[in-house]
Structure 1
């Protein structure tokens, strides 16, 4: 799977840095563990459908993904150069540590963070990274998150949505959210296949993956965080969500209306009054990326309803690697300053990136 760079402008000509904010990677050790789990029929149906496809299919796209996921050097950099991407914010690919038993999750998170931090030190102009943790060992997760941020210089936490069927609104995970708030770094809520209870009807129809199931599962996770009152408890928590918010911005009116009705009716024990409307948390706590969603009408609508300071560029490499999608976003109907904000400034602010370092490696080749 290749991207054609013909007529793709360099970042020098564009007038802004292209910072891609949802880019995946994986250590070889984690993929080897996934293969052993598949051989033993471990991990559940969602894991098998996601990892089984990418680890075993001979189709062009999964072969390309397998080849590129583990590369933190020349091949990845060449692909970035070919489409004019200056800098990538890297996170552990789905399902990350979250399909693993607690001991294995802890070991893979530590190994992943060490490898990723080394790549960021080696290529500071090109890479930044998000920490991984083993979520089920909450004290260990807090310790590893703190090490990843304060010692290794990573820029946030990657959470590949559900944690073997559990969600971050559950009180057991509050210490992790408290640590994120104290460290002032964002949580990147990234998709996973639906949990074992949800996946059945979606899988029957072939809709369990990126085509729809990811959005169903991750959008629900984000809504659980909002409607449970987590963002009232942790008002300074920063959350980044890809794919333009997994469709939720298009539901704002209905979400606000229905949530208000549920609060009034006291129909659900889980639904309590909130300090803000559901949609208003997107303007206070949540940032969205355009990963896999380069179509101008959807980007422009999302910027309108959440604010232009809340939407930023992403590619979704290596799962979605197309030069045409970069050009589509270069051609968005925005002013020059709005494009600087979209491609560059929002990411620098949210992830606390070093603009000087990134500028020093500015892409000048196609």
Structure 2
């Protein structure tokens, strides 16, 4: 039984963290202008360069995984967090820097979990620039360090996980039986222009537009047909795609029949079916009951689980709002705890 006599734990499944070494590296790159990524300058330039108290608090909370974070969790009624390296993670770094930071982050996350096994689990980071190195680090993080999946902070310097060169990494996820978590980032340089000029490149729209594109690419590229045991978790209620599933099925089917695009091939089933067989969605940043209830209806109640999006969206009132969803107590237990336990194989 939980401390408040609830009959379930609240497990938050998309909770950002960063080692201080990564924050220091970001600051250096921002200062020296050595990363050619417009979104990185917009995103981390704000959180690490603004004198406003809100981004300063986020930057401080990102680097904590002990007393301060635990106090925040207790104040909001969160029993357990699944930690992952914040966007953009390693994905704006070159192969050498990225691999070094990924290994450091995974070691540190393992230590955090071992120190607080009932409060934290964690996802592995890798550098996607060298797939062989990424495979080896993922294998080490899961089999030796006990991490529970892999974080993918959207595009990989403008590339996507459906590129055939990443197939060995996806096969390793299948082999290890751990999920891939697709997390948003600012759009790549090839896409960000209209969003940035309107001030819409961040979480207000750009994140969802970019990650939603990545998610749909994964499905329409046939990734789940080629990797049938791959599990994918996506935050923010699927980046808007559940609302579009009927239209996507209709238009994708027409494209396949017409042969309009060489890259659009027949799939084994409609696009929407993969949301019910291979994809799980979390409520991170989307604590709105109508959207949650609609998403549960269209993808299945067993496909939607709780997340907060700490520390970017840290509000105890949002926890209470989701506790008040018009669903039964057993459904709440699944939503807050049991689905996460199953998807991430949580054993605390």
TM-score bracket for this pair, using the shorter chain length: over 0.9
Paired residues of 1:11 and 1:18 also in contact (CA < 8 A): no
Q: How does 1:27-106 map to 2 (within 5 A)?
A: 27-43=19-35, 44-106=37-99
- The yes-or-no answer on 1:172 pairing with 2:175 is no
Distance (whole Å) between structure 2 residues aligned to residue 323 and residue 29 of structure 1:
29
1:14 to 1, 6, 24: 6
**Structure 1 vs Structure 2 CA RMSD:** 0.8
The Cα shift of 1:269 comes to 1.0
Q: What is the number of residues matched between the two proteins?
A: 346
Q: How does 1:312-327 map to 2 (within 5 A)?
A: 312-327=305-320
Say which SS state the counterpart of residue 287 (structure 2) adopts: coil
Distance (whole Å) between structure 1 residues aligned to residue 319 and residue 51 of structure 2:
27
Where structure 1 has 5 or more consecutive residues not aligned to the other structure, the ranges are 1-9, 358-366
1:116 aligns with 109
2:344 to 325, 341, 351: 351
1:201 aligns with 194
Say which SS state the counterpart of residue 134 (structure 1) adopts: coil
Q: How does 1:1-366 map to 2 (within 5 A)?
A: 12-43=4-35, 44-354=37-347, 357=348
Distance (whole Å) between structure 2 residues aligned to residue 65 and residue 290 of structure 1:
19
Distance (whole Å) between structure 2 residues aligned to residue 61 and residue 258 of structure 1:
42
The Cα shift of 1:42 comes to 2.3
Cα deviations by residue, 1:55-108 (Å, 9 ceiling, x for unpaired): 011222211111111111000000000011000000000000000001000000
Paired residues of 1:11 and 1:85 also in contact (CA < 8 A): no
Give TM-score, length-normalised by structure 1.
0.94
Paired residues of 1:69 and 1:318 also in contact (CA < 8 A): yes
Where structure 2 has 5 or more consecutive residues not aligned to the other structure, the ranges are none
1:361 aligns with none
The Cα shift of 1:11 comes to 5.2
Distance (whole Å) between structure 2 residues aligned to residue 16 and residue 58 of structure 1:
40
1:362 aligns with none
Paired residues of 1:11 and 1:84 also in contact (CA < 8 A): no
Distance (whole Å) between structure 1 residues aligned to residue 45 and residue 137 of structure 2:
29
The Cα shift of 1:53 comes to 0.4
Distance (whole Å) between structure 2 residues aligned to residue 243 and residue 20 of structure 1:
13
Give TM-score, length-normalised by structure 2.
0.98
